[in-house]
Amino acid sequence: MLKTLKTTGTAMGLIFAAGAAFAAPNCGANTGEAATGTPIKVGGIHGNAAPGDFSSSTAAAEAYFDCVNANGGINGRPIEYLVENDQWNPELASQAASKLVVDEDVVALVGNGSFVEMSVNSGFYKDQNVMTMAAACAASECFESSNIVSTNQGPLPSSIGAAMYMVEEKGAQNVSCIALTIPNSGPWSCGAAVEYMESKGLSGTGVYLNPASPDVNSGLLEAIASGADTIIVNLPAGLGIAVLKAAEEQGLGDAYQWASSTPLYDRDVPAALGDYWDGKLFVSAEMTPWDKGGEDATNWLAVMDAYGEEKDPRDSFSQAGFLSAKIFVDTLLGMDPADLDDRAKVTDAITAISGYESDLVCGPFYVGEADRHMPNHAGTMVVVKDGGFETVRDCFEYDSPYFAPIFEQEVALGLR
Amino acid sequence: MRSTTNTIWAVFGLALILVLPAFAGGQWIKIFTSTTTFAMAAAGAGFLYTRLGMVSLVQVGLMGVGGWVTLRLNHAFNFPFEINLMVAGAVTMFLGNLIALPALRMRGLYLALITLMFAAGLDIVFTAKQFPNGAAGFWGVGTTFAADMRRPLLAQSDAAYLRYTMVWLVIGFVLIELHRRMAPGRAWALIRKSEAAALASGVNVTLYKTWAFGLSGLLAGLGGGLLAGSLGLLDSATFRASESVMLFALVIVGGARFWYGAVIAAVLFRVVPGLLNNWGVDADLSLVIFGAALLHAVMTAPDGLAGQINGAVRALIPGGKTAETKSDKKGAKA
């Protein structure tokens, strides 16, 4: 009898556990019926080639769109999501944008993630009056142009956040920031972190690696030679791990304090880093931690499990891709169905987004008509702990003059 | 006979300039524009190889210099695009001369190695210094938003710009052809046969060799400047030393003896990866295709694909079956 009860109990427990782990995804109109109408074309561009794979954001957007298409689509019309890879090459980035916007006539681009694409195409998007709701932006043009808005923060706020936490909580005096030598990505973001240090009367340096042949050891040595006590790794996940592995081999883990921008907030990173980095590496996460248990965070994991692939990363960029896609779908659902094929009307609808709340970001998401967009500029600090991440500082705003014009926009929109 | 073939090609080229930009899609217009700019560099490498037997492995690197100068001038001054382009061409022509000077004593493999080292040097400078994007200072590299690239007044749209680039390519081909028909061409022919004989005949070998390198550099620089105009900003990844080697290999595959060999080389260089990308196949597969094509060219088609096309065209035109055609056909069959 007891045994039967135990078995039943275990079975029930397993069912509940499974239920929690595989919560049913909730997408779009959530009708449970597949959309069959004329597809709405939406584009997405990611960069996947050496030295980094930025396809996580488009993979998450695709998973969400698949889920929406299986649940009524946009008023019965499915989204046809066309994804291109810029391979970190300006020529290919320009070709990809022309293909999607001119040849395929997409109504918008969603989930873009790249170091290159936005720099080449920001003017083109403006000329074509098409909005790009990016999700893994890593170049200045993402945040300083009229027709691109991203749900992620980009390397500049992310590394300022890391520097700020290390100064305020860990007493960092001299920070060295390691990034790629792409001017409007690495020097742009690490330069801002160095400016932050200098504004506090402290010192900082930027160390830049050649993306074509990144030499992590010499980068590490250059960072150490700068006299830094804290090193901020501001690189794509694969390269970031390589830097930390090289530091581990040289036994530098305890001699310096370590922080990173958001790419290392990836579910697989703690395991890849190993026990050595337990409690040592602080990561500035651009999106809120996935274990916070918010509605969107839970839904994101459920959608990825049901519609994504096992190999798709579960990282900040995946969260951001999901959120971009979700905001986009909610925007389309709020439009007059007759206007869905009209790019100008879709652009207007995206521009009109204001005060969109989600538990995946610390503040409201908005677009508005402006020459720059950076709605997400408050983040969370986590530390690598017990094979996962532990939050050490919840949602906090970054301290830099860079954000002054953004705050002004928020005041104008009544969000601040 | 020769003029008939040339007329056919001229009509075909003109039709292409008119039709291609009008009917190609947005992505293909971009691909064809890149192709055309690389065809200019390929034409330079091809003519240097056929006329003087000299191998230049720095063409794509010189394109980078041309692109750098064009961007730099665009962001520094308010000159029209053509002026920037001409200055870029002049700079790369001078650089071409400069490379030629120490290279004059070298031949064959050693000359090729010197040009390759030069390309590697440019590669390092491009990676370290990047391309100007509108900031202040000599290098002009800023970390924030890139400034606009002004396009020629006549070619604001992508389609018009493709046409504009194609016209420049034609000018490049005409320039090479004019050289071939005039004094430099005769001097080069003599130098190629025997430098001693050329010297004995009173040909200034130094002058004409540097001249050839300068012309080849000019074409590469114009190509690079046109590429900069198409994209608005450039990246060091486009101008690696390995790309110069690849372009030269494709010039051999395309056929260095014929002007359209350069077009074939550029089509292989840019259109094949574009097609593979469109088919969802990894574009790196093109490297395998290029390798196979190079083997084919080296083993069976000494005049490359252009030689085989030329043979086929001659065979089609009645009365055109000369001895040369027969040998070409033999090559085509094998």
Residue A16 lies in a domain: no
A296 vs B211: CA distance, rounded Å: 67
Kindly state whether residue B294 falls inside one of the protein's structural domains: no
Residues A119-174 pLDDT 10s: 889 989 999 999 999 999 999 999 999 999 999 999 999 999 999 999 999 999 99
Q: Which of A253, A270, A285 is at the close of a domain?
A: A285
Cβ atoms of residues B255 and B306 within 8 Å: yes
- Report chain A's mean pLDDT, rounded to a whole number: 91
Q: Are both A74 and A159 inside the same structural domain?
A: no
- CATH code where residue A312 lies: 3.40.50.2300
Query: In this predicted model, what pLDDT tens digit does every residue of B193-210 receive, in sequence order?
Result: 888 899 999 999 889 999
Within-domain flag for A1: no
B274–A95 C-beta distance less than 8 A: yes
| B148 pLDDT more than 50 | yes
Flag whether B290 is in a domain: no
Please choose, from the candidates A325, A358, A315, A392, the residue with its C-alpha nearest in 3D space to the C-alpha of residue A66: A325
How many domains does one find in chain A?
2
Query: Interhelix angle for B26-52 vs B158-181, to 10°?
Result: 10
**Gap from B124 CA to chain A (nearest CA, Å):** 10
Over residues B145-151, mean pLDDT: 80
- Kindly list the distances between the CA atom of residue A412 and the CA atoms of A290, A366, B91, in Å, as whole numbers in the listed order: 31, 12, 50
- For residue B265, being part of any structural domain is answered with no
Using alpha carbons, select from A24, A46, A18, A212 the residue that is nearest to residue A118: A46
Q: Which residue of B has its CA nearest to A143?
A: B145
Q: Number of CB pairs < 8 Å for A and B?
A: 84
Instruction: Tell which residue, A107, A110, A82, A108, has the closest CA to residue A96.
Output: A82
Q: In sequence order, which residues have a C-beta less than 8 Å from that of residue A17 and are 6 or more positions away?
A: none
Domain annotation covers residue A27:
no
CA B182 to chain centre: 21
**B164 pLDDT tier (thresholds 50, 70, 90):** very high
Residue B288 pLDDT > 70, yes or no?
yes
Q: Are B26 and A98 in contact (CB under 8 A)?
A: yes
Q: Are strands A281-285 and A257-260 parallel, antiparallel or unpaired?
A: parallel
Q: Are residues A121 and A161 in the same domain?
A: no
Residue of higher predicted confidence among A10 and B35 = B35
For residue B327, pLDDT beyond 50 = no
Report yes or no on A320 lying in a domain: yes
| Domain region containing A251 | 155-285
Statement to judge: residues A259 and A339 lie in one domain: no
Instruction: Say yes or no: A165 and A281 in one domain.
Output: yes
The whole-number average pLDDT for the span A26-43 is 94
This complex has an ipTM of: 0.84
* Global confidence as pTM: 0.88
User: Residue B96: which H helix or E strand, with range?
Assistant: helix B81-103
Confidence of residue A397 (pLDDT cuts 50, 70, 90): very high
HSE, CB side, 13 Å, CA atoms: give it for residue B66: 37
Q: Is residue A398 part of a domain?
A: no
pLDDT beyond 90 at A367: yes
Crossing angle of helices B2-23 and B304-316, rounded to 10° = 110
Q: Is residue B66 part of a domain?
A: yes
A96 to chain B: which residues are within 8 Å by CB?
Answer: 27
**How far apart are alpha carbons A140 and A171 in whole angstroms?**
29
Residue % of chain B over a pLDDT of 90: 50
Select the residue of A92, A119, A211 nearest B233 (Cβ to Cβ). A119
Give the percent of chain A with pLDDT over 70: 95
Segment A10-25 shows an average pLDDT of 52
With a cut of 60, say whether residue A26 has pLDDT above it: yes
Structure confidence at residue A381 (pLDDT)? 96
Q: Which residues of B touch A83 (CB under 8 A)?
A: none
Inform me whether the pLDDT recorded for A14 exceeds 50.
no
**Residue A9 falls within a domain, yes or no?**
no
Share of chain A above pLDDT 90, in %: 85
- Say whether both A53 and A103 belong to one domain: yes
Point out the domain boundary residue: A285, A311, A339.
A285
Q: Looking at residues A52-78, what average pLDDT do you find?
A: 95
Give residue A199's pLDDT.
94
Question: How confident is residue B12, by pLDDT bands cut at 50, 70 and 90?
Answer: confident
| In the predicted structure, residue A104 carries a pLDDT above the cut 60 | yes
CB of B226 within 8 Å of a chain A CB? The answer is: no
A187 & A266 share domain: yes
- The predicted model gives A35-41 an average pLDDT of 95
Structural domain count of chain B: 1
Higher-confidence residue: A65 or B13? A65
Please determine, for residue B334, whether its predicted confidence score (pLDDT) is greater than 60. Answer: no
Q: Is B196 exposed, middle or buried (0-12, 13-18, 19+ CB in 10 A)?
A: exposed
Asked if A391 is an interface residue toward chain B (Cβ–Cβ < 8 A), one would say: no
- pLDDT, residue A9, reads 46
B316/B281 Cα distance (integer angstroms): 36
At which of A285, A317, A337 does a domain end?
A285
In a domain, B329, yes or no: no
CB < 8 Å to B158, chain A: 98
How many other CB atoms are there within 10 angstroms of residue B182's CB atom? 10
Residue A270 shares a structural domain with residue A168: yes
Its domain, for residue B161, covers: 25-257
In-domain check, residue A19? no
- Whether residue A393 lies inside any domain: the answer is no
CA-based nearest distance B2→chain A, Å:
38
Residue B140 lies in a domain: yes
